[in-house]
A = this chain, B = another copy of it.
């Protein structure tokens, strides 16, 4: 029987606040370039005070992936928590307007925390450095997981970032059980090398027990297996997973499917803003495998979707991704 959803994503529901900065600014505010750092509301407000004029675009890693799959015409839903405030309404609107189902109960207007946001600092080289105030997205809990929705998903897609929340492990577990009972599969993105470092044991346990497909980049898999050798990390990942996809920026992606290795190179792209590259890679890949394509072609679709997203500011697609796939002869 056809399931209602091809992919249901679960993650941090955030609005991105994007600002162009120079490298000196990153040093001034004492942040590590290229990674995501969690900040509390006071630090978030202090950083925002120091940032230049910005723009706001809906974000959130798994939400970007779901928006990308929806933009391709895939059947998707998203689970993540916002508050009933202006940022929360922006986030919900943009996801639904893209065609995704989004029904997670909103935190009430009386909650002290606000909808989460990610201050994305884009340097002239296109690299992005993120400071995230999780706000109410941190409080995603098992009650927010609709088991019927999970059971109606071919794939669920879990955002590693959400490991930074006490009740979210349980929420993930509830989603995994409901999906698997109904014959669904589980995909995971590692999200960030420091996030991997914070939760290595939990990640590894989940990967070995439940995950059918894992997305990560080079830094993340090196962090996961605590090694400097990509070959070693790929070999160990290939043992732990049926399907492993590792992106390596302009080198493209490595796919290991049941032990078989494929390198799928990508074309050089002008990097305006790297925000969302990994998220949209996952979107292209998941759309591919849920539409009858093999993993190598799915990785090519991932590369194309990632190239589109880094060519403009913001992590939600602007161009017609299906047309880009067609131009590349993939569909």
Contact = CB atoms under 8 A, between A and B. Distances in A.
A54 B86 contact: no
Interface string A84-99: 0111001001110110
A56 interface: yes
A281 B58 CA distance: 30
Interface string A55-92: 11110000000010000000000000000011100100
B53 A56 contact: no
A197 B86 CA distance: 33
A97 B51 contact: yes
The majority secondary structure among interface residues of chain A is mixed
Contacts of A152: none
A316 interface: yes
Oligomer: number of copies: 2
A48 B93 contact: yes
Contact of A56 (B48, B55, B85): B55
A294 interface: no
A237 interface: no
A159 interface: no
Contacts of A20: 318
A79 to B, nearest CB: 19
A124 interface: no
Contacts of A93: 48-49, 51, 53-54
A95 B86 CA distance: 19
A52 interface: yes
Contact of A57 (B49, B56, B86, B115): B56
A107 to B, nearest CB: 14
A279 interface: no
B94 A53 contact: yes
A114 interface: yes
A280 to B, nearest CB: 14
Contacts of A58: 53
A52 to B, nearest CB: 5
13 contacts: A51-B93, A51-B97, A53-B58, A53-B94, A53-B97, A54-B94, A55-B56, A55-B57, A56-B90, A85-B85, A85-B86, A86-B114, A86-B115
Interface of A: 20, 48-49, 51-58, 67, 85-87, 90, 93-95, 97-98, 114-115, 314, 316, 318
Given A53-B58, A55-B55, 19 more contacts: A20-B318, A48-B93, A51-B93, A52-B98, A53-B67, A53-B93, A53-B94, A53-B95, A53-B97, A53-B98, A54-B90, A54-B93, A54-B97, A55-B56, A55-B57, A55-B314, A56-B90, A86-B86, A86-B87
